[in-house]
Amino acid sequence: MKIEFAPTEKQWRFCTDPHKYIAYGGARGGGKSWALRMNAVTLAAKYPGIKEIIIRRTLQELRNNHINPLKELLGKTARYNKEERTFYMPNGSSITFGYCDNEGDLGQYQGAEYDIIYLDEATQLPEEWIKIIMACCRGVNSFPKHVYLTCNPGGQGHSYVKRLFVDRKFKAGEAPEEYAPLIQALVYDNKALMEADPNYINALRGLPPKLRAAWLEGSWDVYEGAFFEEFRDNPDGYESHQWSHVIKPFAPRRGWEIFRSMDWGYFKPFSVGWYAVDYDGVMYRILEWYGAQRDRNGEAIPDTGLRMSPEQVFAEIYRMEHEHPWLKGRKITGVADPAIFKSETGIPISETAAASQVFFTPGDNARIPGWMQCHYRLHFDENGRSMFYVFDSCRDFIRTITLQQYDQHKKEDMDTTLEDHAMDEWRYACNQRVISPPVETEEFRPMWGADPLNQFSEE
């Protein structure tokens, strides 16, 4: 079996990179899926007996983007088994197609082994799903082992992919030498698309600034579908407090107000945030306690609570507020989910808190107005200043704010099926200290300045 194709320079790098984990992503229309298909066929021809799998979110996407095009390409060269969704090559190699639209679909990959795994549109999958699927890349044979990811900015897996391949920030158990730097895809790379549809790029240029940055320029800091698309984690602004909501910790002044906000959870995580408000009304998230179980690396296990009793939780909050140097000696008020004041199941949780001298008032649980207050605070003025900052030590807030997506059925609201506990708690805090909508003085100015692609230099 002989397959020939003429890849672009970036597609060639994607197909020949020696790392175990390779990501090819960025703007729309960059020719990523085509490169993935052709690489799968090429490796199947080169290595007799190799097992490959291509995974997308839904079965229909697999049919449209991969199965049908490969049927046309391979013709009678390979045998396609519809029930197994697998192409069998004459030399014993195979290309299987898998989908993963919900947690139940993950079961088909338990115990499976593949030499090559392709995750097409990987950012549409949650981080935990990506990890489970990538763990299937193993085997005792001599075939090469690779996981190829193609993706656009945005989606539930955005933060995970960005951390590994763009920011190059690794955790315990992750070997940096196994991960290739992101191969940045741009629509300009796809000469065939540009010739076939020259108006496509004009359509991208006509998008609103934030979508244009993601879809045309491939920015991983502004991305499609993010509920808090204004949020910026820019290390260059940690000290200056410009164009970054994440900043270095500092001791709040004694005259600033400090209060706490809480979203209760038992089976799912609870979230407690401590906020300082300066003389200009700027809000700082200075401390947090995210009540989730942790893995061996100290990372929160999504949606898995500590299952601590209310007495234990509030005793710990009391201890923290009387021992932490930023909190002790201050009069700290609290706001919380109104549900803790209800007594349908016995003594209200708020009364248990009060018995530990941890006092709350019911928070305003209005969702849409609350989210608007969050958006107002994230707005940057013309000097790159915001009405909200979070200390870089508040890791779970920073991690989960980038996960949030719009509700598919109620576009003004946030998807409640995601890990939103810290977001609800932050919403109570913002509803407690409302501000007026910002005055737009000019078109949105991204944090990276005039050249949005400089951080993706290929040099």
CATH assignment at residue 333: 3.30.420.280
Q: Are residues 26 and 108 in the same domain?
A: yes
Is the pLDDT reported for residue 419 higher than 70? yes
Contacts within 8 Å (CB) and 24+ apart, 181-184: 182/23, 182/24, 182/25, 182/26, 182/456, 183/10, 183/13, 183/14, 183/17, 183/22, 183/23, 183/24, 183/25, 184/10, 184/25, 184/26, 184/218, 184/453, 184/456, 184/458
Is the pLDDT reported for residue 303 higher than 60? yes
CB burial class (10 A; 0-12, 13-18, 19+) of residue 46?
middle
Element (H, E) at 119: strand 116-120
pLDDT at 445: 41
Angle at Cα 233 formed by Cα 227 and Cα 235, nearest 5°?
170
pLDDT at 297: 82
Q: Report the number of distinct structural domains present in the chain.
A: 2
Q: How far apart are CA 362 and CA 262, in angstroms?
A: 10
Largest CA distance in the chain: 79
Is the pLDDT reported for residue 268 higher than 70? yes
Q: How far apart are CA 377 and CA 367, in angstroms?
A: 15
Alpha helices in 343-417 (DSSP H): 349-355, 367-378, 395-401
Q: How far is CA 178 from CA 11, 168, 453, 459, in A?
A: 19, 11, 25, 20
CB burial class (10 A; 0-12, 13-18, 19+) of residue 58?
middle
- Give the single-character DSSP code of 243: S
Is the pLDDT reported for residue 449 higher than 50? no
- Give the single-character DSSP code of 144: -
Q: Are residues 40 and 91 in the same domain?
A: yes
Q: What residue numbers bound the domain in which 132 lies?
A: 9-215
Is the pLDDT reported for residue 196 higher than 80? no
Is the pLDDT reported for residue 355 higher than 90? yes
Question: How far from the centroid of its chain's Cα atoms is residue 297's Cα?
Answer: 19
Q: 227 with 418: CB under 8 angstroms?
A: no
**Mean pLDDT of the 300-328 span:** 95
Q: Which residues are CB-neighbours of 372 under 8 A, at least 6 positions away?
A: 437
**Mean pLDDT of the 304-313 span:** 96
**Dihedral in degrees, nearest 10, Cα atoms 195, 197, 201, 206:** 160
Q: 331 with 260: CB under 8 angstroms?
A: no
**Mean pLDDT of the 71-84 span:** 92
**Mean pLDDT of the 288-299 span:** 92
pLDDT bucket at 457, cuts 50 / 70 / 90 = very low
Q: How far apart are CA 86 and CA 8, in angstroms?
A: 28
Q: Are residues 257 and 358 in the same domain?
A: yes
Is the pLDDT reported for residue 210 higher than 80? no
Q: How far apart are CA 198 and CA 192, in angstroms?
A: 10
Among 187, 215, 243, where does a domain finish? 215
Q: How far apart are CA 278 and CA 282, in angstroms?
A: 5
Q: Are residues 74 and 114 in the same domain?
A: yes
Q: How far apart are CA 187 and CA 164, in angstroms?
A: 23
Q: How far apart are CA 170 and CA 176, in angstroms?
A: 7
Domain-embedded: residue 230: no
Domain-embedded: residue 228: no
pLDDT at 29: 61
pLDDT at 453: 31
Q: Are residues 427 and 312 in the same domain?
A: yes
pLDDT at 298: 87
- Give the single-character DSSP code of 109: G
Chain-wide mean pLDDT for the chain? 87
- Tell me the per-residue pLDDT of 12-40, one tens digit each, with 9 for 90 and over: 999 999 999 999 987 666 678 889 999 99
pTM for the full model? 0.61
pLDDT at 362: 96
Q: Are residues 203 and 96 in the same domain?
A: yes
pLDDT bucket at 212, cuts 50 / 70 / 90 = low
Q: Are residues 195 and 260 in the same domain?
A: no
Q: How far apart are CA 330 and CA 311, in angstroms?
A: 22
- Tell me the per-residue pLDDT of 138-195, one tens digit each, with 9 for 90 and over: 999 999 999 999 988 877 888 899 999 999 999 988 999 999 999 988 766 666 655 6
Is the pLDDT reported for residue 306 higher than 80? yes
Domain-embedded: residue 377: yes
- Tell me the per-residue pLDDT of 230-266, one tens digit each, with 9 for 90 and over: 899 989 999 999 999 999 999 999 999 999 999 999 9
pLDDT bucket at 442, cuts 50 / 70 / 90 = very low
**Mean pLDDT of the 281-295 span:** 96
The pair of three-digit structure tokens given for residue 84, joined into one six-digit string: 């197994």
Question: How far from the centroid of its chain's Cα atoms is residue 396's Cα?
Answer: 12
pLDDT at 224: 53
Domain-embedded: residue 326: yes
**Mean pLDDT of the 283-293 span:** 97
Q: Are residues 209 and 272 in the same domain?
A: no
Q: Are residues 184 and 304 in the same domain?
A: no
Is the pLDDT reported for residue 216 higher than 80? no
Domain-embedded: residue 221: no
DSSP-based three-state secondary structure for 281: coil
**Mean pLDDT of the 262-284 span:** 97
Q: How far is CA 285 from CA 245, 251, 337, 393, in A?
A: 10, 12, 18, 10
pLDDT at 447: 35
Q: Among candidates 275, 334, 346, which has minimal Cα distance to 309?
A: 346
**Dihedral in degrees, nearest 10, Cα atoms 285, 291, 296, 301:** -100
Q: How far apart are CA 78 and CA 68, in angstroms?
A: 13
Q: Are residues 190 and 337 in the same domain?
A: no
Q: 415 with 423: CB under 8 angstroms?
A: no
pLDDT at 110: 82
Q: Among candidates 427, 432, 429, which has minimal Cα distance to 404?
A: 427
pLDDT at 262: 98
Q: 8 with 191: CB under 8 angstroms?
A: yes
Give the pairing of strands 257-263 and 183-185.
Answer: unpaired
Is the pLDDT reported for residue 217 higher than 50? yes
Q: Are residues 159 and 102 in the same domain?
A: yes
CATH assignment at residue 46: 3.40.50.300
Q: 285 with 273: CB under 8 angstroms?
A: yes
Domain-embedded: residue 316: yes
**Mean pLDDT of the 272-281 span:** 97
Q: Are residues 68 and 165 in the same domain?
A: yes
